[in-house]
């Protein structure tokens, strides 16, 4: 996790726990720089991140304030965010979530995975490709890379069920945050076949890097979503 992301995560936690209430003013940038032992630019990036997430608002000449979201809406967004960190089974609790594993292997980390997971050249990762089903319908074609040294004893049966449950319940590691980029494009032939779509049909491609509570990235994934069940909710502020 980058420094600005760690600062943003800590401030977000304080907002969601009510330490900073709606319309409260956050400490000035100079104080945040001292508190987090960070540069002015790093603090600015953290505040920009929270502003883009809709949690704070900057008022010229006045300072930075917690956005006055409706409590119900805030609780709903926070709970949904937390459930996503617990994995697909938690997002769709009570429904039939299944996974078909197409690939489970250990390989030398590709360049993109190495960069996202902060690995040295020559490091090895699990390379897992699976189709995620909801109530018998394919929703996601997911490609994941995870460091072998960080997740010992990960097996294909874990990928067939819930990798995040394995991380939490067997390795006793806490998943804290994720960085997500969403793009839209046409499905390629493999995606169309696995998701039962027409070739070239629109799909949402979500690139994510998940971080443990220690700040260490443990999962880099590229997930292709069929459009019917995909939605991205955010908050925009003036």
The pLDDT tens digits of the residues spanning 2-22 come to 788 889 888 988 887 788 888
**Are residues 8 and 55 located together in one domain of the fold?**
yes
pLDDT above 70 (res 73): no
**Are residues 57 and 119 located together in one domain of the fold?**
no
**Are residues 60 and 111 located together in one domain of the fold?**
no
**Are residues 40 and 151 located together in one domain of the fold?**
no
**Are residues 105 and 138 located together in one domain of the fold?**
yes
Q: Which domain holds residue 205?
A: 88-229
The residue-averaged pLDDT of 161-182 equals 88
The pLDDT score that the predictor gives to residue 72 is 55
Number of independent structural domains in the chain = 2
Asked whether residue 137 is domain-assigned, the answer is: yes
**How high does pLDDT run on average in the chain?**
86
Which range has highest mean pLDDT (62-66, 94-98, 174-178, 231-235)?
A: 62-66
pLDDT above 80 (res 44): yes
pLDDT band at 233 (very low <50, low <70, confident <90, very high): low
pLDDT above 80 (res 90): no
CA distances from 64 to 32, 44, 103, 144 (A): 12, 11, 47, 37
77 or 200: which leads in pLDDT? 200
Asked whether residue 144 is domain-assigned, the answer is: yes
CA distances from 95 to 83, 87, 121, 180, 185 (A): 14, 13, 41, 25, 28
Asked whether residue 57 is domain-assigned, the answer is: yes
**Are residues 108 and 213 located together in one domain of the fold?**
yes
pLDDT above 80 (res 231): no
Burial class (CB in 10 A: 0-12, 13-18, 19+), 46: buried
The pLDDT score that the predictor gives to residue 42 is 92
**Are residues 60 and 108 located together in one domain of the fold?**
no
In which element (H, E) is residue 161 found?
none
**Are residues 7 and 104 located together in one domain of the fold?**
no
**Are residues 138 and 175 located together in one domain of the fold?**
yes
78 or 106: which leads in pLDDT? 106
% of the chain surpassing 90 pLDDT: 53
Asked whether residue 76 is domain-assigned, the answer is: no
pTM: 0.67
């Amino acid at each position: 996790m980058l420094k600005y992301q760690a600062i943003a995560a800590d401030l977000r936690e304080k907002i969601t726990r009510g330490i900073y209430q709606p319309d409260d003013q956050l400490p000035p940038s100079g104080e945040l720089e001292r508190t987090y032992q960070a540069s002015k630019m790093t603090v600015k990036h953290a505040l920009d991140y929270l502003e883009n997430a809709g949690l704070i608002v900057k008022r010229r000449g006045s300072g930075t304030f917690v956005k006055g979201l409706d409590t119900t809406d805030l609780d709903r967004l926070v709970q949904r965010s937390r459930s996503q960190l617990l994995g697909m089974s938690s997002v769709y609790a009570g429904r039939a979530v299944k996974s078909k594993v197409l690939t489970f292997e250990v390989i030398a980390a590709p360049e993109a995975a190495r960069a996202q997971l902060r690995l040295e050249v020559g490091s090895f990762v699990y390379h897992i490709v699976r189709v995620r089903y909801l109530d018998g319908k394919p929703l996601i074609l997911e490609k994941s890379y995870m460091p072998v040294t960080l997740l010992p004893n990960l097996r294909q049966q874990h990928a067939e069920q819930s990798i995040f449950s394995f991380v939490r319940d067997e390795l006793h590691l806490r998943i804290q945050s994720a960085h997500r980029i969403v793009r839209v494009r046409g499905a390629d032939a493999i995606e169309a076949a696995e998701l039962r779509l027409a070739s070239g049909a629109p799909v949402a491609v979500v690139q994510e890097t998940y971080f443990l509570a220690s700040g260490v990235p443990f999962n880099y994934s590229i997930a292709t979503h069929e459009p019917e069940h995909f939605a991205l909710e955010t908050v925009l502020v003036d």
